[in-house]
Amino acid sequence: MKTIILDRDGVINEDSDDFIKSPDEWVPITGSLDAVARLNHAGYQVYVASNQSGIGRGLFDIESLNAIHQKMNTELQKIGGRIQAILFCPHAPDEECQCRKPKAGLYEEVARRSQEPLINMPVIGDSFRDLEAAMTVGAKPILVLTGKGENTLMEHREQLLNVPRFANLAVAVERLLDEAAVKES
């Protein structure tokens, strides 16, 4: 079984500088849910690893976060998609935890749960911290230009010279699956 890690806000759903605090604010990016379903059908376990500091900042609670994730999972199920697990860091940036990206705690937990090594595991994100955490553990960082992606590319162009970049999750998944098909043939 192959494993992939996706960030949530800005990759699967629209991002907001004011945080996604309720199911009503959670809006999938066009094509992203279909992309997750395509990954599943191609034999991938899809994990989501997401910083959710809005909890630590007191902007929303765990019940709201669970309701957001329930909406995402329900929408995915309608089209035959599934997320293996959603891992998140609830801590505020100043809490010095090991799970807040760019630290690698969430990714290490994915490796433990999936029993797959992180080396060359695809990690798709829109922020530099997603990609930095991937580089730290030897995973394969992939940038999408949705969410914070355009700004990430402008601010970190030098560090991202060898990182593949795509317009959105759907395009990234299409390329990833095409490359996998070529390797298998």
Domain segments of the chain: what residues?
2-184
- Residue of 7, 15, 126, 130 marked active site: 7
User: What is the third-level CATH fold of 2-184?
Assistant: Rossmann fold (3.40.50)
Note the pLDDT tens digit of each residue in 57-93: 999 999 999 999 999 999 999 999 999 999 999 999 9
Q: Are 75 and 36 in contact (CB under 8 A)?
A: no
Question: Own/partner pairs for 112-118, CB < 8 Å, 24+ apart?
Answer: 113/47, 113/84, 113/85, 114/1, 114/3, 114/45, 114/47, 114/84, 116/1, 116/2, 116/3, 116/45
Chain mean pLDDT for the chain: 96
Confidence of residue 184 (pLDDT cuts 50, 70, 90): confident
Note the pLDDT tens digit of each residue in 85-110: 999 999 999 999 999 999 999 999 99
Does the structure show a pLDDT above 80 at 118?
A: yes
The yes-or-no answer on residue 7 being catalytic is yes
pLDDT at 161: 95
- Residue of 9, 15, 126, 130 marked active site: 9
Note the pLDDT tens digit of each residue in 129-171: 999 999 999 999 999 999 999 999 999 999 999 999 999 999 9
The yes-or-no answer on residue 94 being catalytic is no
Q: Which two tokens stand for residue 48?
A: 């989501």
Q: If you ran DSSP here, which 8-state letter would residue 29 be given?
A: P
